[in-house]
Structure 1
């Protein structure tokens, strides 16, 4: 049966993509990243602050009861993140990118206030963590997606990477905020733990204001909704060009053609094809299926690096290897965050659009794996009990250095490249749903690792590090063999890399194909995708609502 392939339009290289406005908008939207990063950084230190342990009457460190309580405090954010990331699909669909950011910021703000004023009430603290998780989950979906849709192709990797850079900067602030309050606020005061938690309010409030007054709606979303005039205005404003500029015209044509191909019956489907489950079915069409599986693998794989265990329990890890005293442990944890931040900045600003995504991920897998193998061997050889502080030794100092080496190599790729890749590979038609599902996978795997890490650290000892080192070997090989490079491709040219689910069409008898406002059987033939043909060679029902 003959097929017809609709080739995408030519690649677009916008004039002067490095204008300051696109960077300004990126940094504003990355306030959502600050919600995520600061929360991750601050909670690890708050758990070891003397005032927090006293006010919340925490059990003895290293006991099963302590592991359960701290595991719940940490992991409830991930449960909320899972709910928020999946729920954001509806928010983006009906309220747009700006509306979703406002919603995420508002829910996060409520959670931050609840945590700050919990006054030793564990239930209120846990509820606040859950609400903050919902807001954070929404932000992790909409912010990278929003940046990718605004960014010129030549700097898209770097711009989406700024999301992760801000994540690390805010995480760094969280670590050092704990160090400062521990140093200058007496442990007898509840302000010691309230101030770090209250700082969460700032980025969420600023994101709400930015979404209301400054950030424009995504041009791609506006075109998909049929508002081409406003889409052109927004695109021209972001590019700092006139609405009639040739660059704006060409980019609008490319966006419109991509969306037209994805929504037109001639290209294969209509926006409500297959009923309510239509979009879910399309995720598994050839051309989409590969993207979904790769993105899910990368999101799940990011947490199989062991980063969540080390991020949330860094102070505990440093204590177990040889550092002692709250001040020293928090200082070491702050340096850990600083190393991650510097490595992330170098990777996403200078290497991702030069070396590409695959090379960075493979290199990162090798470095992180080697570091974890050594730490695991040290813990096993010395018969270290991770629930108790250890005496310093030369081998212990090398293990501590390996923690920083691990942080650097992880941040070189697995930290930010995964978010860039997943934000750029999906076609507009399924982008919202696909990114929500992939981010939900990220939160689900985060929850599993965060909840299990205290027990794994205490009971598995060196096996904790061996497990994640082995996962990194497998993931590095998987990236090398299975993950295609996307460097320099426009969002509309990703079909060249993965194939199109909407470009290969066949001519069939209409069968029960019908459209609202037209009598069934009015047309004798139509072009539909191979996936939309039933066993008898007839087009499946496609209904416009």
Structure 2
């Protein structure tokens, strides 16, 4: 009787709390890759002008140095899926952590712009790997009722990484008296890039505190280990869940990129949808704000210190929007958030484009006359907020859950690679486009925001509350 009294049924509330905390722990460690993703991609923001001045390079070379990390990200994303399927999600996380650390140290002590570009390329590979592994792992360990919220941790970690990178940039520049000034034995901008080694080491260490994905364990012939992981996470019949996973993986062979093809040579429709989502997330120009906001505000007459503070303030809206998405994603669903975000982005990008068109030269320096400076500022912050409640987190959640088990890692890898190539295209062209017409560049981003409204309405399915096996 004593033993019977201690028996806990699967749905017992006494175990629900610990299970939720364990799922949160596993997802949070995986999402540290997202933190590094955000930090490493955005930290360059405070260093752009200093790098340009230090190495005496033009706008094209500056754009190439900033954007080359994104080509590395495309490479990392492309190979991450097959690596994760072959060697496991945890192995891929740990390899990414090592590459993050190497990149941070190398970027802090470059001898030339090309040298810096190489180390940023290495970091980009790590970023691409993290962009694939984190959402896939979180989707695979999260119970269906928590998957939206836990999936949003990836985007929350990304925006926190971006925000903290801006705080670090500002604090270091303030301590040194400017991004080009010396701080100890390195210039301030070198410290900005080198600090990323700290969270990279933490990411690698904490990856040893979480288990392998149960779906990978089943796929590699370790069902008993998978049962243990599922039992620690899901208040359901574990054997039933295990059978569902085994059924969805019954092809019993290693996934290949060719699995993504339909009959003939075309890709499966779901893969095209994933690629479209990924590309539109970048074509609205969100990373222009994250990579170039300091230089952007300086280009319309705001000084370096104030421009860094404005970049920091933007991240407050980014974090607030992501928290809103975290609360709403499993309540209202994916599609409503995407549609709301698309409409809001189209309006605010249009406002920014209109404001930038009013820029004037005063004593040879660009400036935005009243009230256009305020309109541009409000539009930029509102744009980031609408992105943060929708296309920022929701795209990563959808990419982690929309593909069938058999092609999840490979499908996510292709979609993420497309996202990084598009990100690179937007990032590398912005310096030159902004010199030609800053307003014109933003009109282009506005047009893609309008396209995203139709894309969501026509092609994006609702996945709220469905298990991964049900979507397979």
List aligned pairs for 1:354-373, cutoff 5 A.
Answer: 354-373=331-350
* Alpha-carbon distance, 1:234 to partner: 2.1
Indicate how the Cα distance of structure 1 residues 86 and 277 shifts in structure 2: closer, same or farther if over 3 A, else same.
closer
* Structure 1 residue 338 corresponds to structure 2 residue 333: no
TM-superposed CA distance for 1:272, in Å, is 6.8
Distance 1:79 1:317 in 2: 23
Matched, 1:271 2:260: no
| 1:169 has 2:164 as partner | no
Q: 1:292 aligns to what?
A: 271
| Residue of structure 2 in register with 1:257 after alignment | 247
Q: Does residue 211 of structure 2 align to residue 216 of structure 1?
A: yes
| Partner Cα separation in structure 2 for residue 43 and residue 168 of structure 1 | 15
Output the CA distance in 2 between the equivalents of 1:408 and 1:442. 20
Give distance in 2, aligned partners of 1:234 and 1:384: 63
Alignment counterpart, residue 457 of structure 1, candidates 420, 428, 434: 434
Q: CA deviation at 1:283?
A: 8.9
Cα distance in 1, alignment partners of residues 412 and 451 from structure 2: 24
Please identify which structure carries the higher helix content.
2
Match of 2:60 in 1: 68
Report the counterpart of residue 70 of structure 2 in structure 1.
78
- For residue 206 of structure 1, give the secondary structure of its aligned residue in structure 2: helix
Equivalent residue in structure 2 for 1:154, among 145, 160, 166? 145
CA–CA separation in structure 2 for the residues paired with 1:33 and 1:283: 35
**2: distance between equivalents of 1:454 and 1:382?**
17
- Partner in structure 2 of residue 123 of structure 1: 114
Q: Does 1:143 align with 2:126?
A: no
Task: Structure 2: give runs of 5+ residues left out of the alignment.
Answer: 1-9
Answering whether residue 289 of structure 2 is matched by residue 310 of structure 1, we say yes
Could you tell me how far 1:14 is from its partner in structure 2?
Answer: 10
The TM-score with structure 2 as length reference comes to: 0.90
Q: Tell me what 2:103 maps to.
A: 111
Give a deviation string over 1:365-411, Cα, whole Å, max 9, x none.
Answer: 111111111221222244679x9531542222111111111111111
Aligned to 2:29: 28
- Superposed CA deviations along residues 90-130 of structure 1, whole A, max 9, x for unmatched, are 32122100111111111222111111122x52222111100
Contact 2:98 2:200 in 1 (8 A): yes
CA distance in 1, matches of 2:129, 2:392: 19
Give the TM-score taking structure 1 as reference length: 0.79
Counterpart of 2:230 in structure 1 is: 235
CA contact (8 A) 2:63 2:427 kept: yes
For the pair shown, the structure with the greater C-alpha radius of gyration is 1
Q: Tell me the secondary structure at the aligned position of residue 486 of structure 1.
A: coil
For residues 48 and 344 of structure 1, what CA distance do their matches in structure 2 show? 29
Larger displacement relative to structure 2 (313-322 or 337-346): 313-322
Where 2:284 maps in the other structure, the secondary structure is coil
Cα contact 2:298–2:304 (8 A) shared by 1: no
SS at match of 1:389: strand
Give the match's secondary structure for 2:145: helix
How much does 1:326 deviate? 1.0
Query: What is the DSSP-based 3-state SS (H/G/I as helix, E as strand, rest coil) of the residue aligned with 1:415?
Result: helix
Partner Cα distance (1:277, 1:250) in 2 = 29
Contact 1:48 1:326 in 2 (8 A): no
Over 3 Å counting, the alpha-carbon distance change for 1:176 and 1:342 in structure 2 is: same
The question of 1:491 aligning with 2:468 is answered yes
Report the aligned-residue RMSD.
Answer: 2.4
- Which of 287, 295, 303 aligns to 1:325? It is 303
Deviation at 1:223, TM superposition (A): 0.8
